[in-house]
Amino acid sequence: MPTVEELYRNYGILADATEQVGQHKDAYQVILDGVKGGTKEKRLAAQFIPKFFKHFPELADSAINAQLDLCEDEDVSIRRQAIKELPQFATGENLPRVADILTQLLQTDDSAEFNLVNNALLSIFKMDAKGGLFSQILQGEDIVRERAIKFLSTKLKTLPDEVLTKEVEELILTESKKVLEDVTGEEFVLFMKILSGLKSLQTVSGRQQLVELVAEQADLEQTFNPSDPDCVDRLLQCTRQAVPLFSKNVHSTRFVTYFCEQVLPNLSTLTTPVEGLDIQLEVLKLLAEMSSFCGDMEKLETNLRKLFDKLLEYMPLPPEEAENGENAGNEEPKLQFSYVECLLYSFHQLGRKLPDFLTAKLNAEKLKDFKIRLQYFARGLQVYIRQLRLALQGKTGEALKTEENKIKVVALKITNNINVLIKDLFHIPPSYKSTVTLSWKPVQKVEIGQKRASEDTTSGSPPKKSTAGPKRDARQIYNPPSGKYSSNLSSFNYEQRGAFRGSRGGRGWGARGNRSRGRLY
């Protein structure tokens, strides 16, 4: 094994040889043998090996293996030095191998080492984005795969345009499609983040491609199984990814049709994939958001009727009154405003496509029944709107930021929205002209003098920026107290949300996966 002095001497020989350095193979071999020495020798070898690597192609394998030995050394300072120099080996046909090695090194638990690996990988990605990342994602160990995906999701957006060319983006899309054949929910969300950030997919056709990818993941060709939490979870995850992609040019028709035909009839029997999640409200909110961008639907009348029938379930008839004018029953029907906002909004959006549904497609008795329900609901609605306005009157700034008042503000949005939509349906004939912003969506402001965008942002459309999913604390459910004139405003309820299930026995939400990963997402 060479000593420190021998290493310096042979380094000098190579450094002084300038253009004839390739003729001193023996000197370079001495430096390679330095990896077998002590700590000082190894540190020098970690620096000297990459410096002259390009001059000895016949020793490339030996040099890379020697550097790799140093990357796995017990001494952390030696490992860090060796990792830092790895990009210098990424030349020609060696690049994929070095990228592969670095991707495997992502499994380190040392934070400084992990940052070095990230920086080295980024350097290689800038040299050639076709490196070995995707091979490790497809074939590597779980932790390597996981960290490689996270590397892509966080680092791609930092790359300059001259690196992230159209050709590179096409490669990323092609390789991502291979990975998406077998993914966990968490991995799917990360890949949607990666793909939706690519410049080439910002166009209408690009967004359409992404929607088709999501639809394939969602298994929209399969019969929906409401009792299978994996099936329910997959549909929720995929639909959340699809919602930000929809627009006036990228239609949600396929998803809306599936929800109307397969999900709404099974709404009450849905198995929640996570404890505490109001799965029915979650589904209805997604349907409402998508309904704004539904295109021409083949079975519009049939699906509108299913939506109408589901709406009736949440719009009770007024209770029968006894002869003395008191309620003959024990209690008033409970008005579930959060559910009704979603269903009424969805019905209002799809109803625009068949405006004579209520007058021509329903018999007179059914229409009369519906108007009685609307009238009863509207009457209770006015009571709660007055109560809420009174409770919030004079409150500004910090006072509105308390949890109780935040919920009341959302509740006021919900009830006002329902009020506007009910007024539309009371017109003769029913009107579908009003626009409202769904209570959980941010209000989009239009600048003075600016033409209103062709995609109406006040109609509950999703924001253009792609997100991995809704904020966990962004949605509240408002179930006002039952009773005709109750003033008990204390029964505002949070919608419970939590992490989605993992440990599915395979990556692809249960039976779709081939390898066990057991991720929590």
Given this model, what pLDDT does residue 326 score?
59
Do 478 and 407 contact (CB within 8 A), yes or no?
Answer: yes
Instruction: Supply the pLDDT for residue 478.
Output: 44
In angstroms, the CA 486 to CA 488 distance is 6
Distance CA 122, CA 359 (A): 63
The DSSP letter of residue 130 is: T
- CA dihedral 200→205→208→210, nearest 10 degrees, is -20
Tell me what pLDDT residue 242 has: 97
pLDDT value of position 324: 52
Bridge partners, residue 494, by sequence: 476
pTM of the model: 0.77
Walk along the chain (521 residues) in steps of 10 and give the mean pLDDT of each run.
93 91 93 94 95 93 94 93 92 84 88 91 78 79 87 87 88 92 91 93 95 94 94 94 96 97 96 88 97 96 96 91 54 86 97 93 88 93 93 87 90 95 93 95 58 38 40 42 34 32 42 36 21
Q: At 477, phi and psi to the nearest 5? A: -105, 135
CA distance 246 to 442: 17
Q: Report the distance separating Cα 73 and Cα 35, nearest Å.
A: 10
8 Å CB contact between 354 and 428: no
418, 381 in Cβ contact below 8 A?
A: yes
- The answer to whether the beta carbons of residues 184 and 521 sit under 8 Å apart is yes
